[in-house]
Amino acid sequence: METVKKLAVFASGTGSNFEAIADACADGRLDAGVVLMVCDKPGAPVIGKAEARGIPCFVFSPKEYPSKAAFETEIVSLLDAAGVDLVCLAGYMRIVGDVLLKAYEGRIINIHPSLLPAFKGAHAVEQAVAYGVKVYGISIHWVNSDLDGGRIIAQRAFEYDGNDPAEVHRIGQKIEHALYVETIAKLLK
Ligand code: GAR
């Protein structure tokens, strides 16, 4: 019997990458299921998208916990209980801490809207536009304690000669959705 792999997706905002992954699981492009969506922003649009698909959610407010270790301990126990094989960060705008890394390092990947190692951290697209970049891109990498510095798994570039960050986001997100699903499929093989 084939084992369907279990994914957790972490997101903080819109959740278009979450949707792409969940839809690919639902229609069989990924031999996997999203068993948990973790969100650190109560009220974020991604929550409704998970609920509409019947995917269990853990929504938390970091400031209600004494420390990052405290909320990550709770997250790890949920991941363990759900038997998660792979954690996919998809617009989770928070640095992963020691507790989560100790338990899941080697099983956590992230998508980032630049050709790493250029433009790490938040506002990567805005930084790249301000620089006058002509070749943009998307990276998927393993997560370690070095922010956006883990080993790269996949990248895809595109050319854009303009100065509109919104347009770069629009082009980049289409690429993200396809690249994330393709990369997860490869990793699960
Ligand atoms: C994505 O474009 C992702 O690359 C970016 O957040 C967006 C989330 O969009 N992540 C980062 O900037 C991480 N540093 P989504 O909520 O629609 O998936």
- The reply to whether ligand 1 has any atom less than 6 angstroms from the CB of 89 is no
pTM of the model: 0.97
CA distance 56 to 61: 17
Please tell me the distance between residue 2's alpha carbon and the centre of ligand 1 in angstroms.
32
Residues with active-site annotation: 112
- How far, in Å, CA of 100 to CA of 113, rounded? 23
How many other C-beta atoms can be found within 10 angstroms of the C-beta atom of residue 80? 11
- CB neighbour list of residue 81: distance below 8 Å, 6 or more residues apart: none
Residue 172 Cα to ligand 1 midpoint, Å, equals 10
CATH domain 5-188 topology: Rossmann fold (3.40.50)
> According to the model, what pLDDT value does residue 73 have?
98
Ligand 1 lined by 111 (C-beta under 6 Å)? yes
CB distance 124 to ligand 1 below 6 Å: yes
Using the mean position of ligand 1's atoms as its centre, give its distance from the Cα of residue 123 in Å. 10
pLDDT for the residue 140: 98
Average pLDDT per consecutive 10 residues, the chain (189 residues; last block may be shorter): 85 98 98 98 98 98 98 98 98 98 98 98 97 98 97 98 98 98 97
Indicate the SS3 state at residue 86.
Answer: strand
Nearest Cα to 142, choosing from 189, 86, 69, 84? 86
**The pLDDT value given to residue 133:** 98
Q: Probe ligand 1: pick from 9, 37, 112, max atoms within 8 Å of CB?
A: 112
| Distance from residue 17's CA to the centre of ligand 1 (Å) | 8
Ligand 1 neighbour 17 (Cβ under 6 A): yes
113 lines ligand 1 (CB under 6 A): yes
Q: Which atom of ligand 1 is nearest to the CA of 18?
A: 18
Which pLDDT value is given to residue 2? 52
CA torsion sign, 136 to 153 to 100 to 117?
Answer: negative
Domain coordinates in residue numbering, the chain? 5-188
Contact (Cβ atoms closer than 8 angstroms) between residue 152 and residue 141: yes
